Structure 1
Amino acid sequence: MDLHDLLGYLIHRTDVKMTNYFTKVLKPYGITPEQWSIISVLSSQRGTTQKELAEAIDKNQTTVVRMIHSMERKSIVKKVFNEQDRRSHYLFLTEKGEEIKKTILSVVKDAHHVVSSNLSKREIQQLKSLLNKLYDTRY
């Protein structure tokens, strides 16, 4: 079987290329693609827990803890203790985090248009559907 016939290879190759492009586009703003995913989630789901965030961005909690610490040092994210459960806390974007989101949202949209420019709107919808089907496959 040829390597280019393997879905896993094609998906990984595409992911690497898109991630590298996205990394390059976000670098001037001091944000990584993973940090952008956190900013995006916290912007729409204010007061989320680390566990909820990990599920939303499909990363393990240990990785998310490291990412949050880094973003706290940059004053992008803040933690607020959960009054009902002092072992957990809620995550919020800081004012700086909100400003970063506003600043780079158009950059993110432009990057999306660049990477999907060879596809029609219908093809984009089909691709999303197919990728979600692959992701939801139980094995």
Structure 2
Amino acid sequence: MELNNITGFLIHRTDVKMTNYFTKQLKPYEMTPEQWSILSVLDGDRATTQKELAEAIDRDQSTVVRMIHSLEKKGIVKRIVNDTDKRSHNLYLSPKGIALKSELLPVVAEAHNHVTRYLSENEVRQLKVILEKLYASVKEDS
């Protein structure tokens, strides 16, 4: 089978280019795409556990702990011990994190618009449906 006919290759090739583009857009803010995924999930008022966060961004908990530690050092995330389960932490955006999230939302929207500029709104919706189906088919195997 020819490489350009293998779905996994095409998705990986596209992912690499999109990630590189997104990384460049976030660099002036000293943020990575992975850190943005955390910022996009967390809130300043509503607690999120590390487990919930790991599930939301589809990463293992040990990776999330390292990422949270990095964002905590930057003053973007607050980690507070859960009152009912001392082994668990509640995560919140700090005021600095809330401000950064607000500042980055238009940057992220513009990056999304840039990478999807050759697709119609319907094609973007179709792409999401197809990618979700592909994800579901491999999620069961991992």
Q: TM-score, normalised by structure 1?
A: 0.97
The residue type equivalent to 1:68 in the other structure is I
The residue type equivalent to 1:27 in the other structure is K
Which residue is equivalent to 2:122?
A: 122
1:25-75 Cα shifts (integer Å, max 9, x gaps):
000001100111100000398211111100100011111011000000000
Provide structure 1 residue ranges, at least 5 long, that are not aligned to the other structure.
none
Please tell me the root mean square deviation across aligned C-alpha atoms, in Å: 1.2
What's the secondary structure of 2:75's corresponding residue? coil
What's the secondary structure of 1:18's corresponding residue? helix
Q: TM-score, normalised by structure 2?
A: 0.95
What's the secondary structure of 2:87's corresponding residue? coil
The residue type equivalent to 1:64 in the other structure is V
- The list of structure 1 runs, each at least 4 consecutive aligned residues, that deviate by more than 4 angstroms after superposition, is none
Which residue is equivalent to 1:102?
A: 102
C-alpha distance in 2, partners of 1:105/1:125?
20
Which residue is equivalent to 1:46?
A: 46
Q: Percent identity?
A: 60
Provide structure 2 residue ranges, at least 5 long, that are not aligned to the other structure.
none
Give the number of aligned pairs.
139
1:104 CA drift (Å): 1.1
1:7-26 equivalence runs, <5 A: 7-26=7-26
CA pair 117-45 structure 1, distance change in 2 beyond 3 A: farther
Which residue is equivalent to 1:82?
A: 82
Which residue is equivalent to 1:6?
A: 6
